[in-house]
Structures are given as structure tokens and as C-alpha cells.
Structure 1
Amino acid sequence: MRQLNNATFVIREEEVPLRSVGGTPVKRNIEITVINCYSPSDAAGEHKFDAFHHQLEEVIRDAKAYYKIVVGDFNVRLGMANES
């Protein structure tokens, strides 16, 4: 488990049988990293929202596996970005 500022990332490694990968064609002995995350809600404020995304980028960048799957609840915000 890694604690990064306002987020907790649980990192667990285990071997998964090839048939459990959901039919994705991969070669044997290939590492796959699955990152499951939950973004802060709108109530958390823009600072925490931005900090979460920077931390997520760091986790993705640091993952050694060739295949990286990112899933979770990103509390999607729709609309035009307000660049100020």
C-alpha cells in the first residue's frame, strides 16, 4: 500500500491464469498492471481533483508492466474546460 498525499493506492502482485484476463490476447509470462482508482468528487475541490490526477499519472508512469489497464470511478466532468 502506498499513501500519496490525499490518495491511498493499494498495490498487489499476483499471478493470474491466462483465462482470467478476459480473452485479451497476451503472450504467457507478460506482466499486466491493473490500476483501480476512485477520483475525488466535485465536493473535494479543484485542488484535490488535480492532485489526484497528477498522482495517478505518476503511478501509471512508474508501473513496469507493458500492459497497463486503468479502471475505476473517475467522477467524469462534462463540459468545456475553463482555462484561466
Structure 2
Amino acid sequence: MYSVDHLVQHHLKQMEKLSRQQEKAARKRERQQQKLEEAFAKFREEIASTLPLPAGEQTEQPAPQTSGTGLLHMLRAFLF
């Protein structure tokens, strides 16, 4: 039989391992999100430089706010 101390130590090791795995996954998600944001910014710049603006419109006009989830999924499909 294992002693209670041994079982507690084993449990603590498992919890530490899980915590490290979760931290690693969080860092990976952050890197992927940053990569996606950079690609999206580059994509917007390319689109803005490619598309001609209609007469009388300014380049400083803010883009309409949308949910962006469809576009993000499309970008992810192209990037990853």
C-alpha cells in the first residue's frame, strides 16, 4: 500500500504538471492570436492599398464594425 504522504505528493506532482501544460497551452494560444492579428493587419493594409477609393472618400475613414468571426475563420483557414 502507498502511504497518504506518497499519494499526496503524487497528486501534487500531477497538479503541477497539469498547471504547466495549461500555461504552455495559454502561451501557444497567445502566440497564435498575435500571429493572426498581425496577418489580419497586413491583409487589411494590402486590401486598402489594392482597392481604389471612390471619389471624395478619405483614407482615414474608420472601417465599419462587424463581428469579424467569419473573416477570422477564413483567415485561419488560409494561414494555418
TM-score by length of 1: 0.30
Structure with a larger share of its residues in strand: 1
Q: Which has the higher helix share?
A: 2
Return the structure number with greater relative CO, CA threshold 8 A, min gap 6. Answer: 2
